[in-house]
Amino acid sequence: MRKPALYSRSDRHRTPLAAIGGAAVDKVDGAPGGDDAAPERTVSAGRFLALRRFTRSPRALWLAWGLLAAALVVGVGVNQRLVPRPITQQDIDAAVLRTLTTQPLPSAAARAAEMIRPAVVRVTSLAKNRQGEEVETGVGTGVVIVDKGLILTNLHVVQSAPIVRLVFADGSESEATVRSVQVEHDLAVLQAATVPDDLQAATLRSSHDLKAGDAVVAVGFPFGIGPSVSSGVVSGLGREFKSPEGEQPLRNLIQFDAAANPGNSGGPLITMDGEVVGIVTGILNPSSHRTFVGIGFAVPIESAAAAAGMQPF
């Protein structure tokens, strides 16, 4: 009996190579065979071969390394922009210098006036006419020295006035009573009947270290207009002055040349630090016009403080 051949020499039964990589394998994996699966396998194999050719090319490798390095540089730059740099003293100095060179700053007189402004008060003396109406008989200035409503002004501003009315920096009004007087220095201390909640008192400073030529500012209501500000210098110290209406001369006065007119009486004379060194009390009147000719006088704050019962400096 002829033994059956173990291998066929015929090519008719050989399975095509494409079938081994395609349908036959798909059946082993459990996926349906056919022509639809073969193109996907072919594309994957093509990509693999292209990648191998790319990695074997030195030029392509250098290109890849260059792209990677560029990406790292961009990433570091973005990270540095996202993380804020610590502020140094040089940065602060540069910002301050830039502000000083580009932004106009207020003058020393403007800064001083702004510091004293909340403590400056308009003082009006009133009387009633025959019809019972209030009539203004005089206007002057006062300065708050205690935030409970204690105010310094000149005696001649409120002397013999039946009614004294105050207007504070915030626009609120109050009547006031004369608490004490110091005739020899033409000073009066007023007590406000109604005190604003945020009333601020002025800072008082000794006049002992004042010198001729020191800058000063006068704040008040000249002719009822104000508050008005004028600046000048200390012209002299220890002066004596007698007003036409006064019965006795005032001594040890500060002479200054900051403009002052009727209505400035009782207002503060301040330094460029906004501190009160005197109370404006009069101006030299060589004529009957009662206008400023360049010489004003102020009572030193030591005398004013004593009039209010405060401890001397």
The CA-based angle 196-199-204, given to 5 degrees, is 150
CB 250, CB 240: distance < 8 Å: yes
CB 269, CB 260: distance < 8 Å: no
Which parts of the chain are beta strand (E)? Answer: 120-128, 134-146, 150-154, 163-167, 173-182, 187-192, 215-220, 228-241, 250-256, 268-270, 276-283, 296-300
Nearest to 298 by CA among 177, 210, 225, 202: 210
Residue 55 DSSP one-character state: H
> Which class for 139: exposed (0-12), middle (13-18), buried (19 or more C-beta within 10 A)?
buried
CB 186, CB 155: distance < 8 Å: yes
Q: Which residues contact residue 223 at a Cβ distance below 8 angstroms, ignoring those fewer than 6 apart?
A: 139, 261, 262, 263
- Catalytic hit among 26, 186, 228, 231: 186
- Catalytic hit among 156, 174, 231, 257: 156
Nearest to 239 by CA among 218, 253, 227: 253
Letter string b/e over residues 248-287, b meaning 16 or more CB atoms within 10 A of that residue's CB? eebeebbbbbbbbbbbbbbbbbbbbebbbbbbbbbbeeee
H-assigned helices in the chain: 17-19, 25-29, 38-56, 58-82, 89-102, 108-116, 155-158, 301-307
91 is catalytic: no
- Catalytic hit among 125, 231, 265, 303: 265
265 is catalytic: yes
186 is catalytic: yes
What amino acid occupies position 127? Answer: A
Q: Which residues are catalytic?
A: 156, 186, 265
